[in-house]
Structure 1
Amino acid sequence: MKDILRRAKAYLRVCLLLLSIGCGKEEKKYVSVDNFSAEISALYNDYLAKAISNLDKIDLEKTTSSDRKKYYGNARKYFKLVEPILSYSDKNNYKSLNAPNIIQVKGEDTQDTRILNPIGFQVIEENLYEEQIDTVTLTRAVNVTRDRLKLIKENNNLKLKDYHIIWMLRDQIVRIATAGITGFDSPVLSQSLLESIYTYNTIIDIIKMNEGRFQSKGIMKDFIGAIQNAQKDLDYDFDTFDRFGFIKNHTDKQLKLLVEIQKDWKVTFPFEMALSNTMTTLFSKDALNIDYFSDQLSDTTKLAEKVAFGKTLFNDKSLSKDYNMACATCHIKDLAFTDGRKTFDANQTRNTPTVTYAAYQQSFFMDARSGSLEGQVVGVVKNHNEFNMSMDSVVNRVLKNDSYKKQISELYNDEKVNYNIRHAIASYIRSLNTFNSKFDKNIRGEENTLTEEEKLGFNVFMGKAMCATCHFAPVFNGTVPPNYVDTELEFIGVPASKDTVNAKLSADLGRYELFKTPERKHFFKTPTVRNSAVTAPYMHNGVYSNLKEVMDFYNKGGGAGLGIENDYQTLPFDNLNLSEKEINALIAFTKTLTDAEY
């Protein structure tokens, strides 16, 4: 189950965000932009009204198929035009309206499990373009989507300050680079490049509305010019679009200019969200605020010493019952903190995942049963096949070590010893995010050593192969940018063996084992692809020995492509139709994500 601390942290963030959006008395140090709020509200309402109007025209009895598709296209256009504002001001409704056409499972952690049928534009799109339309499903999707947009419009009460505007713009720039250009939410039409042009139009509108705030008109001109140059390059074929060049030449330039804008406006931020307030490149350890992913948002005093203490504990076998196992026993540094085995021993059923970049998640273990790294440590300690201890026993052993006892006193003032042992280990794991791979250095412009094959591999990963619709850049895991609130679980149909003729689904039920929700059978958390060239074997059961086998599995369409019948597979395709050249390029790109050091 999710940790109580995780829920408390989430509650704190909600409260802070509500305060930042204007509840209660405004602090004088933050500049109000009421005029801007009025202008953006008018734009917001206009786009919502036009989306609603076009959805209203989709009548299965009175319109032709061609007209229905035209009205849907118009509605989708206005939805994308409103996206930068809606996704910031009403995150939950935006998420619902832009969700994939798969059922949603809510409330498992609070024992209030609800199964929700999807709504929104992806549901409409997929049903509208079926040869045989399911009129009931399509009608419901159109009506519910339209009514949700009406409700949003009726409750529009935007109150924006200068830092809200910067957050809004940064979110959208990152959303375009990490989801917009990948086809994440355009499953049938694959028109995400065009839709990214639309969302950029709204960014330009927002900047022009705020022209009076600029001290330097040159910065404003440069930023608008950078957006327009990006729009020109987006006018391209989806499968062959150069996403590497786009992020390197456009996204990072926009991020740098946005920092210049906030300096020009003299913006003061009340706190940081997931994206750093000063990020100037997408692929950097400074791009994401690591504290956002931690329960202890303010526990950064003497952090270097805590990391060093955590590293010592991570490597200490005395924390296990028989003094024969440490965290490092399974998480071996030279293998990017994996162990090179299908499973650690015969009693375990799951492959050892890397802990590099593990910090950038909102849930832990392959079935997402823990809500924090600190909570994950408890699971390892109590597991009979791992440490086989209680946390009280671990505390006793730590306090019997004079050096450890001294560090607990000096670093944590002897408070909450149980938790702070875990915090030290978690702090060490949170330090294992170097972003110093060959790929990172190249896309940041520090090197020019990527081969054409490696660049092609990244472009295929982010585009045609749709890998990035589950493994989101820059971490390439399942935590969804730009808000990083959700870490996704997927059912991809991993087989029990390599037998592709008589393929059988792996017996591991994954997330289902926690709450017995039938719709969660065989669901597992999406891991990072970083360092995967040295973390074989692959999948939760270690079924595949090399990256070639992994690519073949996905190219066939996952479990469904192997003939494994299921109702809930979440892969957004039947098969990928990748060429041998593209598969080899994907593998070549993946190898560039190996860190220079761990």
Structure 2
Amino acid sequence: MTHKIISQAKTYLCVCLLLLTLACNKKVENKYKSIDEPLKEVENLYNNYLTKTISSLDNFEGASVEKQKEHYALARKNFKLLEPILAYSDKGNYKSLNAPNIAIIKEEDINDIKVSKPIGFQVIEENLYEEHIDTLVLNHTVRVTKNRLKLIKKNFLLNLKNYHLIWLLRDQITRVATTGITGFDSPVLGESLQESSYTYQTVIDILKIYENNFKSKELLNQFVSLIEESQKALNHDFDTFDRYNFIKNHTNPQLEVLLKIQKDWEVTFPFELALSNNMNTLFSEETINKNYFSDYLSDTTNISEKVVFGKELFNDVSLSKNRNMACATCHVKELAFTDGRKTFDKNQKRNTPTVTYATYQKSFFTDARVGNLEGQVVGVVENHGEFNMTMDKVIERIMSNEKYKEKIKDLYSNKRVNFNIRHAIASYIRTLNTFNSKFDKNIRKEENTLTAQEKLGFNLFAGKAQCATCHFSPVFNGTVPPNYKDTELEFIGVPQTTDTINAKLSDDLGRYDVFKTPERKHFFKTPTVRNIALTAPYMHNGVYNTLEEVMDFYNKGGGVGLGIENEYQTLPFDNLELSTEEINAIIAFMKTLTDL
């Protein structure tokens, strides 16, 4: 009897263990199912839009021009619906497919220069809406674009953790505000407002897919409501759209709520990209992670003391051969760290650029020949028209100064004196960006002092006048948001003098002198327009003394408008047809960017 009871007990125990195992397995299965299902839904969303984009382009060749325009419009719509996911998960291909109709040039070194024709939607759009269509070029571009999309679909792999989703959403909100509403990638049709609305729809769809991530459903509803309100606002005429109020009352609130969402989801980030993990406004010193632009991210110990040391070196004339020139000699604080001259002296052929906001770039000097601020210091030291020294001589002088010698020893644990000197100066320059101008304070709702003219000026700058398609918010330079991987170079046709009747192109070849690439003749880096009221004269050669002259140049259509013909000019317009009132408004806006 006892053996029977024991046997029954064993059987019962085995059954219990089996049931428990099955239950556990089911819980594990459900757990993974709950994780995998949203990702699968996002994949389906992605594949759906990608398939529709390809399908529309498949129907393109052989159709009538009117039908081709219909197929293009549908392909472009689905590409924009695809944008938030593609632009995050496959940045390189997204950039290629959404590139402007300008030759793509990769200059790794003098022996590795690649020049290729652009592909993608902007190129199709420009060719399709030409008065006389080159069918061969158009069809080729469509085929290459379509094949690239098919390749993307074939190699598709999506891996989104919660922090990836926050980055994706933050990127798209920023992309809409900085390039979407400016017309950056809709060069002919000007459909960028409607297209931005499409991208917002995908943002809503993704949020709803991840509904179970939310502890607070109120946050989800609040965010969706904000996006839907933004979509309503975007249903507007391009030229008269109020971009100032859109960013102030739509973009910034979206970023604030997104910050609450990442706290609600208890998201932790493994690192920080260009956009700060804690940004809650587009216009703030905390918006962009300035360390992202440095090659020396780990060197942040004693950083405040290094900045002070760097400032001393920046102002020290002993770093130059004749002990008569410091960085501050050409970069005068009261002039937004410029010098107020056309060129510093007869030995220089280029105007002194501001170093305010210089940290937010991926290339330095007006011809973009150096990749970081530390490298720029070497360029100044070795320039015969500037310090006219070697870094070894600079080290010798600094190390003979007991105070400096002691500071280097105290502040830097390594023995790389050359690097430490350059890093200290660069660290100081990286502090010269406050985002504290009249414009910044108003768009952050800290003040309400912008005039109607100044607001109109920003709206024109970021809209009809197309300034913001090269000078991107919030830095207003040529480093492209939201990834900030590239600082653009442009050829705008700057003349040698102010003679508008017999205008001649400036003889400075710019970027060409670095690698001798013919397609880069007269290309220069796009500078910031922050503090522009203090940095006259303007352009790489200081040809214009006033902002009125600068605006007249752009309004005419750059060099081409002055009769300087060149196939490589990159301005996205023939002329702007701005009225005097509109020009004055843009200038009034630019003056609100002063923060020194």
TM-score bucket (shorter structure) = over 0.9
Higher alpha-carbon deviation: 37-46 or 379-388: 37-46
- Displacement of 1:108 in angstroms is 3.7
- Displacement of 1:111 in angstroms is 2.8
Aligned counterpart, 1:413: 413
Aligned residue for 2:109, secondary structure, equals coil
Mapped partners of 2:34, 2:576: distance in 1: 50
Any residues of structure 2 matched to 1:311-330 within 5 Å, and which? 311-330=311-330
Spell out, residue by residue over 1:267-310, the C-alpha distance to the aligned partner (whole angstroms, 9 max, x if none).
01000000000100000000000110111111111111000000
Mapped partners of 1:454, 1:378: distance in 2: 40
- Displacement of 1:74 in angstroms is 0.1
Mapped partners of 1:163, 1:422: distance in 2: 35
Mapped partners of 1:501, 1:57: distance in 2: 49
Spell out, residue by residue over 1:86-145, the C-alpha distance to the aligned partner (whole angstroms, 9 max, x if none).
000000000000000011111343631111101000000001011110111101110000
Higher alpha-carbon deviation: 496-505 or 36-45: 36-45
State the one-letter code of the partner of 1:236: H
Aligned counterpart, 1:521: 521
Mapped partners of 2:593, 2:137: distance in 1: 42
State the one-letter code of the partner of 2:509: L
Q: Residue 141 in 1 paired to residue 145 in 2? A: no
Mapped partners of 1:539, 1:68: distance in 2: 42
Mapped partners of 1:439, 1:345: distance in 2: 34
Aligned residue for 2:311, secondary structure, equals helix
Aligned counterpart, 2:296: 296
Aligned residue for 1:106, secondary structure, equals strand
Aligned counterpart, 1:536: 536
Aligned residue for 2:529, secondary structure, equals coil
Q: 1:271 to 1:110 in 2, by over 3 A?
A: farther
Any residues of structure 2 matched to 1:373-522 within 5 Å, and which? 373-413=373-413, 415-522=415-522
Aligned counterpart, 2:116: 116
- Displacement of 1:33 in angstroms is 4.1
Aligned counterpart, 1:3: none
Aligned counterpart, 1:340: 340
State the one-letter code of the partner of 1:96: S
Aligned counterpart, 1:35: 37
- Displacement of 1:35 in angstroms is 2.5
Q: Residue 358 in 1 paired to residue 358 in 2? A: yes
- Displacement of 1:65 in angstroms is 1.6
Spell out, residue by residue over 1:62-92, the C-alpha distance to the aligned partner (whole angstroms, 9 max, x if none).
x222111011000000000000000000000
Q: 1:33 to 1:348 in 2, by over 3 A?
A: farther
Task: Name which of 54, 58, 63 aligns with 1:56.
Answer: 58
Q: 1:456 to 1:399 in 2, by over 3 A?
A: same
- Displacement of 1:414 in angstroms is 5.1
- For the Cα contact (< 8 Å) 2:107–2:515, is it kept in 1? no
- Displacement of 1:34 in angstroms is 2.9
Mapped partners of 1:458, 1:493: distance in 2: 24
- Displacement of 1:170 in angstroms is 0.3
State the one-letter code of the partner of 1:315: N
- Displacement of 1:36 in angstroms is 2.3
Mapped partners of 2:35, 2:365: distance in 1: 44
Mapped partners of 2:507, 2:314: distance in 1: 31
Aligned residue for 1:101, secondary structure, equals coil
Spell out, residue by residue over 1:401-450, the C-alpha distance to the aligned partner (whole angstroms, 9 max, x if none).
11101100000035210001000000000000011100000000000000
- For the Cα contact (< 8 Å) 1:437–1:593, is it kept in 2? yes
- Displacement of 1:37 in angstroms is 1.9
Mapped partners of 1:33, 1:242: distance in 2: 41
State the one-letter code of the partner of 1:394: V
Q: Residue 220 in 1 paired to residue 220 in 2? A: yes
State the one-letter code of the partner of 2:52: K
Aligned counterpart, 1:369: 369
Mapped partners of 1:456, 1:519: distance in 2: 36
Any residues of structure 2 matched to 1:4-19 within 5 Å, and which? none
- Displacement of 1:490 in angstroms is 0.3
Mapped partners of 1:41, 1:116: distance in 2: 32
- For the Cα contact (< 8 Å) 1:99–1:118, is it kept in 2? yes
Spell out, residue by residue over 1:460-498, the C-alpha distance to the aligned partner (whole angstroms, 9 max, x if none).
000000000000000000000000000000000000000
Mapped partners of 1:242, 1:110: distance in 2: 46
Aligned residue for 2:105, secondary structure, equals strand
- For the Cα contact (< 8 Å) 1:33–1:160, is it kept in 2? no
- For the Cα contact (< 8 Å) 1:408–1:414, is it kept in 2? no
- Displacement of 1:187 in angstroms is 0.3
Mapped partners of 2:319, 2:533: distance in 1: 31
Aligned residue for 1:48, secondary structure, equals helix
Q: Residue 72 in 1 paired to residue 72 in 2? A: yes
Mapped partners of 1:267, 1:311: distance in 2: 38
- For the Cα contact (< 8 Å) 2:110–2:515, is it kept in 1? no
CA RMSD of aligned residues (A): 1.0
Structure 1, unpaired ranges of 5+:
1-30
Aligned counterpart, 1:186: 186
Aligned counterpart, 1:28: none
Aligned counterpart, 1:7: none
Larger radius of gyration: 2
Residue identity (%): 70
Aligned counterpart, 1:572: 572
Mapped partners of 1:526, 1:263: distance in 2: 37
Spell out, residue by residue over 1:498-535, the C-alpha distance to the aligned partner (whole angstroms, 9 max, x if none).
00111100000000001110000000000000000010
Mapped partners of 1:591, 1:51: distance in 2: 43
Q: 1:340 to 1:32 in 2, by over 3 A?
A: farther
- For the Cα contact (< 8 Å) 1:33–1:162, is it kept in 2? no
Aligned counterpart, 2:305: 305
Aligned counterpart, 2:151: 151
Spell out, residue by residue over 1:197-240, the C-alpha distance to the aligned partner (whole angstroms, 9 max, x if none).
00000000000000011000000000000000000000000000
Aligned counterpart, 2:22: none
Mapped partners of 2:278, 2:542: distance in 1: 40
Q: How many pairs align?
A: 564
Q: Residue 238 in 1 paired to residue 216 in 2? A: no
